[in-house]
Amino acid sequence: MADVKLAIIYYSSTGTVHGMAERLQAAGEKAGAEVRLRQVPELAPEEAIASNAAWSQHFDRTKDEPKATADDVVWADAVLFGSPTRYGNVASQLKQFIDTLGPQWAQGLLANKAYAGFTASQTEHGGQESTLLALYNTIYHFGGIVVAPGYTDPLKFADGNPYGVSHVTGGGNDRPLTEVQFAALDHLATRIVTIAGKLAA
């Protein structure tokens, strides 16, 4: 299998998607990939961030982390996009980053890569599946290859999301990730690295 370059590009407001991204980074590296973990810039006004203590704390903790650029997507053989749900859709911060990739898209530099997504919401039916499906609409325009996990491992019957990986944070955004989500994230990273390696071979 060829050496795989994996970009994990995400937005996280209160830290859940950030934690998922870090787990994917560890799993991707364990699977043999070279990994870039990149956060997209925050777009929300200061007063909105300040209105939520968890949001404000996470912003302060991560404001100096490397920010995503178009080069991170062009560089990669596989890309994992992460976003919390926003009314059943991708957060505007991640969508804005994706919308800046027009020049690379026009040159065909986003095609023929493996893509998948991960997300989180406060409630169990809070738009996790529609968020991932909305994300994948963009991947089709890229000419990318969606590498959803499906039910390719029995553990997916525990986490229950064939479209990607998701987590329910609860109303207070304080429900921690569990071994169920960690196993699903590990599987997603290993699967996309494996398939990207076959595509690059």
Reported confidence tier of residue 129, pLDDT bands at 50, 70, 90: very high
Instruction: Give residue-wise pLDDT tens across range 105-119.
Output: 999 999 999 999 999
Predicted pLDDT at 2: 60
DSSP 127: S
| Residue 12 pLDDT exceeds 60 | yes
Average pLDDT score, the chain: 95
For residues 60-69, give the mean pLDDT: 95
Instruction: Give residue-wise pLDDT tens across range 78-104.
Output: 999 999 999 999 999 999 999 999 999
Task: Give the count of beta carbons closer than 10 Å to the beta carbon of residue 146.
Answer: 17
| Residue 150 pLDDT exceeds 50 | yes
| Residue 53 pLDDT exceeds 80 | yes
Predicted pLDDT at 1: 46
Reported confidence tier of residue 174, pLDDT bands at 50, 70, 90: confident
Secondary element (H or E) of residue 78: strand 78-86
Predicted pLDDT at 122: 93
Q: Which two tokens stand for residue 141?
A: 């325009």
Query: Could you give the percent of the chain with pLDDT greater than 90?
Result: 94
Predicted pLDDT at 200: 85
Overall residue count recorded for the chain in this entry: 201
How remote is the C-alpha of 11 from its chain's centroid?
8
Query: Could you give the percent of the chain with pLDDT greater than 70?
Result: 99
| Residue 73 pLDDT exceeds 60 | yes
| SS3 at position 120 | strand
- The answer to whether 104 and 149 are in contact (CB under 8 A) is no
